Amino acid sequence: MADGRAGAVTELVRRLGHDFKNRALLDRALTHASVGEGAPPQTHRTPRDNERLEFLGDRVLGLLVAERLHQDFPEADEGALSSRLHALVDKQACARVGAALGVGPALRLSPGESKSGGRRKEGLIADAVEALLAAVYLDGGLAAAKGMFDRAWADEFARPADRSVANPKSALQEWAQAQGRPLPVYRIVSRSGSDHAPTFTVEVQVEGYPVAGSQGRSRQEAEKAAAITMLQREGVI
C-alpha cells in the first residue's frame, strides 16, 4: 500500500500543478487525525495532522471564490453571490474536487480508518482538499494557491447554477408545500470534530417521506446538504 500511496501522491502533485518547496506541508495536508490517535495532544509547534491547515484553507477558498464571483458576475447582488459561493465551497463541492484530483488514494490514514473506507469518505476528502489549498498557499503564496484553485475548481464553475442547489432549503420548502405537506423540520443528530473545524450531522423530515441526512461544517451547511439529499432522492433535482 505504501508504494501505491507514493504513486498516488506523485500523481496528485502533478494535478495540483504546484512543485512544493516544503514537502512537509504536503505530507501534513494529507495526514488525517486518526494517524495520531493515542499520542499526546498536538501543539501549534508540532502539528501532526491536517486540521489546522484545513482551518486556513477554508478561509483561503472563501476568498478565492468570492473574488472570482465578484469578477465574473459584476451585476449580481449580494444574495445571488452568497448563494453561489456556498455551493462552491461546501463539503460536496470540495469532495468532488478531491475525487477529480485523486486525493483519496493519497491520504495518510490509520490502519483502522483505511479499513473502514476512509479513502472514499466525502468528509475526509473534502477536508484534505482545503488543507492542500492551505499548504500550497503557505508554500508558494496567494498566486500559487490561486493557480491550484483555478485548475481544481474549473469544473465546479462550469456547473450550471441550479437554483435548487443554490437555495436548497427554499426549494425543499416549496416542494413540500406543493405536495400539501407541512414545512420541513431539521434536527441536529450529532456534532463531532474540533472546535475550530466541527462537523454537524443533520436530518430533515418532510411529513410522509423518509428522513434524509447529511453533514456540513456548520449547522446551516448541513441543513442545506440534507435538503439537497432529499431533493435528489425524490427526483426534484
The CA–CA distances, whole Å, from 36 to 157, 217, 232 equal 36, 22, 37
- For 88-103, the three-class secondary structure string (H helix, E strand, C coil) is HHCHHHHHHHHHHHCH
Among this protein's residues, is 130 annotated catalytic?
Answer: yes
Yes or no: say if 222 and 214 are a contact pair by the CB < 8 Å rule: yes
142-145: long-range contacts, CB 8 A cutoff, minimum separation 24: 142/60, 144/18, 145/60, 145/64
Question: Which of 51, 58, 113, 127 is an active site residue?
Answer: 58
Identify the three-state secondary structure at position 126.
helix
Among this protein's residues, is 58 annotated catalytic?
Answer: yes
Q: How far apart are CA 197 and CA 195, in angstroms?
A: 6
Q: Which residues contact 90 (CB under 8 A, 6 or more apart)?
A: 216, 221, 224, 225
Copy the grid coordinates of residue 141. 503564496
Residue with cell 508558494: 140
Question: Which of 130, 139, 203, 221 is an active site residue?
Answer: 130
Yes or no: say if 222 and 201 are a contact pair by the CB < 8 Å rule: yes
**Residues assigned a catalytic role:** 58, 130
